[in-house]
């Protein structure tokens, strides 16, 4: 029996690639470099399924290519704002994602960033490596307390709740959140969480603001020149959601002018390009999109992709269908 042809746009963990090869006629992007729009068009025309990642752009101009063979985009990742969903629907393309399996690892990175920006960890590391540290003194490298501080979460889904549990039960942090939909009562009680009625309420009260909302037209530049002014001068911003949620120039100005104390970022507008303004600042911690970057998580994500493909080719209900 002829195997279905599947194209994997970026390299996966070895164990999952091996499983994929056993199941399908797989072509890997051996160079592991981002592909061009023309290359993606060709892939759509020559494969039964394509498995993109969050760094692969599939706008309407790509999805509208004629003579498509591909019927499913089995996305490696939870976010799918890199795929034009409206165009996918018009072209009758199924889109799936990989929710759930990366919740804890991404929440871990959010807490890592919170701790690093609060205690000036990246700045201290640079100081020591540059051999500029002159020894301990009472006023050197003063940061902010984490234990007992207030954490405000914008978006309170799986990852936001996981971070809140780590913060509340691990660091005795007070939890507040802003979320468009209702949250299960047991979650609120477990965390003694306060729901904010507005973004303004949360921003004005939180010591640490952590972003966990999806990317899209409604959340683009949610943190901007006006909203960042609502934050405390002692507050820190954490972003492990999507880069577009934050106006980079507005955040750079706020950090430069000490409107807020610091920031911890794992995602960026136009990544992997990073605004040069961030690189000149000491009060920002910058990580290279490490949210789900553990061997266990990336393997589980690949297995999720394969589960969606298996269901599709078997004509069964897809576990993680977006459209």
Which residues are known to be catalytic? 242, 271, 289
Q: What is the DSSP letter of 277?
A: H
How many helical (H) and strand (E) elements, i.e. helices and strands, does the chain have? 12, 12
Question: 146 near 261, Cβ under 8 Å?
Answer: no
Residue 263 to residue 286: CA distance in whole angstroms: 9
> How is residue 212 written in tokens?
């966990």
3-state DSSP assignment of residue 5: strand
Question: 193 near 174, Cβ under 8 Å?
Answer: no
Question: 181 near 85, Cβ under 8 Å?
Answer: no
CB atoms within 10 A of CB 283: 16
Beta bridge partners of 29: none
């Amino acid at each position: 029996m002829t195997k279905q042809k599947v194209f994997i746009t970026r390299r996966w963990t070895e164990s999952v690639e091996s499983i994929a090869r056993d199941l399908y006629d797989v072509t890997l992007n051996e160079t592991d470099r981002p592909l061009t729009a023309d290359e993606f068009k060709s892939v759509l025309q020559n494969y039964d399924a394509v498995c993109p990642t969050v760094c692969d752009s599939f706008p309407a101009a790509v999805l509208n290519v004629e003579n498509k063979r591909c019927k499913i985009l089995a996305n490696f990742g939870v976010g799918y704002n890199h795929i034009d969903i409206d165009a996918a629907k018009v072209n009758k393309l199924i889109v799936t994602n990989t929710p759930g399996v990366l919740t804890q690892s991404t929440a871990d990175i959010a807490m890592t960033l919170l701790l690093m920006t609060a205690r000036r960890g990246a700045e201290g590391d640079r100081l020591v490596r540059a051999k500029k540290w002159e020894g301990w003194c009472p006023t050197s490298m003063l940061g902010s307390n984490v234990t007992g501080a207030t954490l405000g979460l914008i978006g309170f889904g799986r990852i936001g709740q996981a971070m809140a549990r780590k913060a509340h039960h691990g660091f005795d942090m007070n939890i507040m959140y802003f979320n468009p939909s209702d949250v299960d009562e047991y979650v609120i009680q477990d965390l003694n969480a306060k729901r904010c009625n507005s973004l303004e309420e949360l921003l004005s009260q939180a010591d640490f603001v952590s972003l966990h909302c999806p990317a899209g037209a409604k959340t683009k530049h949610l943190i901007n020149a006006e909203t960042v002014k609502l934050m405390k001068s002692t507050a820190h911003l954490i972003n492990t959601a999507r880069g577009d949620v934050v106006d980079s120039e507005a955040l750079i100005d706020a950090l430069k002018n000490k409107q807020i104390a610091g920031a911890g970022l794992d995602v960026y507008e136009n990544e992997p390009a990073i605004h040069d303004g961030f690189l000149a600042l000491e009060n920002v911690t910058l990580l290279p999109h490490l949210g789900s970057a553990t061997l266990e998580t990336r393997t589980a994500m690949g297995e999720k992709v394969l589960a969606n493909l298996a269901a599709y080719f078997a004509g069964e209900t897809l576990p993680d269908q977006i459209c």
